[in-house]
A and B are shown apart, each in its own frame.
Chain A
């Protein structure tokens, strides 16, 4: 029961309280770049969730079973980026083979996930937070992905309505998106302190 509670709390914490986008500034590039339309944002979120769960689990296993037991921590960064690039490649091939329409709709964004810092960041945080069990690592990675999807979908929804607004000329485009993101962050600060 105790472990179950830890898992649920950890999941909620990584989704709302320690949301990767709003509090850790990770994954800002796709957050600003792909949040123009809500369907694309959702597709991107799903792809990221899948890759983040897969690579979070794999890097945790590699880190704890291989690198730490043989004292090879120096190679951590090189290994992590290889695992992530491999996972993205795997997803790309799988989607192209079995879901061609889906592949066409977000084909361009798939390779970009490799350089999404939310994924690399989460793998590093799993190491930094000293996660001890595999189940916990899987749940936290999945939560990170869900948190990212939620953030990018909220942003896309706001930006779709923002198209109709009368924004000063100098602030159009990226500046107003950043200011909107700032206000959203402020809203999410309300969750801080709910769970540590």
Chain B
């Protein structure tokens, strides 16, 4: 992230979505990416929580950027982030208890998601509030997009459905598609993400 004053908001925003996409380009936040992408619903919930935490923590860190001492920086970041993660975790428990039980420890684990600390360090601690918010929304959406693509592929191949709508009629209900159980397991996550990264590399090379 360039720290000069004239970076346009549009560039900051779109960099987060494709060129500096947290998952596909920077390989940040891999643990939740792999763990919660068994269904699209879980991926969207995770994405929304990350966007919320990212925006709030970027705002706070951007406001106190001039008071930060270098050696206490990381500690302040993690404390700010963990406060907002607690809020997100408790809200999910209250309003979406099923989803919260399914995601289990992965909402609390947003605290140690390198994506958020990276944005705090690379952007919010150097720029003003407006730039930081734009950056947070851009990276957050990029993260959600990556999660949703991965989840859509895995959910479709492992159950034949997306968000509960049947796309491929599976054999249990008299259709032709045999669900691919491995896609719902860790193997599916690793291999699908590996192949997706390969596709992204190919696209980038075509463009260049």
Contact = CB atoms under 8 A, between A and B. Distances in A.
B197 A174 contact: yes
Given A25-B35, A32-B27, A32-B30, A115 B104 contact: no
Contacts, number: 121
Report, nearest first, the 4 A-B pairs whose CB atoms are least far apart.
A182-B190, A178-B194, A179-B194, A182-B191
A23 B112 contact: no
A184 to B, nearest CB: 8
A81 B114 contact: no
Interface residues of B, number: 43
A181 B90 CA distance: 33
Interface of A: 22-29, 32, 74-75, 77-78, 81-82, 85, 111, 114-117, 119-121, 124-125, 128, 168-171, 174-179, 181-183, 185-186, 189
Interface stretch (B8-16, B78-86, B122-130): B78-86
Contact of A115 (B27, B114, B201): B114
B190 A170 contact: no
B113 interface: yes
A65 to B, nearest CB: 20
A115 B29 CA distance: 11
Interface stretch (B141-149, B155-163, B165-173, B181-189): B181-189
Contacts of B82: 77-78, 81
B67 interface: no
Contacts of B96: none
B108 A25 contact: no
A170 B186 contact: no
A29 B27 CA distance: 8
Contact of B187 (A28, A29, A125, A182): A182
Given A29-B30, A32-B30, A170-B201, A175 B189 contact: no
A24 to B, nearest CB: 7
B114 to A, nearest CB: 6
Given A25-B189, A170-B205, 10 more contacts: A32-B30, A75-B86, A78-B82, A81-B82, A114-B78, A117-B112, A120-B112, A170-B202, A171-B201, A182-B188
A117 B27 contact: no
Contact of A128 (B34, B104, B186): B104
A170 B80 CA distance: 39
A189 B187 contact: yes
29 contacts: A24-B35, A25-B34, A25-B35, A26-B31, A28-B34, A29-B30, A29-B31, A32-B27, A78-B83, A81-B111, A85-B74, A114-B78, A116-B112, A117-B31, A117-B109, A117-B112, A119-B112, A120-B108, A168-B198, A170-B198, A174-B27, A174-B194, A175-B195, A177-B194, A178-B191, A178-B197, A185-B187, A186-B182, A186-B187
A192 to B, nearest CB: 9
Interface string B110-121: 011110010000
Given A74-B86, A82-B79, A176 B194 contact: yes
B31 A182 contact: no
A120 B195 contact: no
B118 to A, nearest CB: 9
Contact of B190 (A115, A125, A179): A179
Contacts of B205: 170
A121 B194 contact: no
Contacts of B202: 170
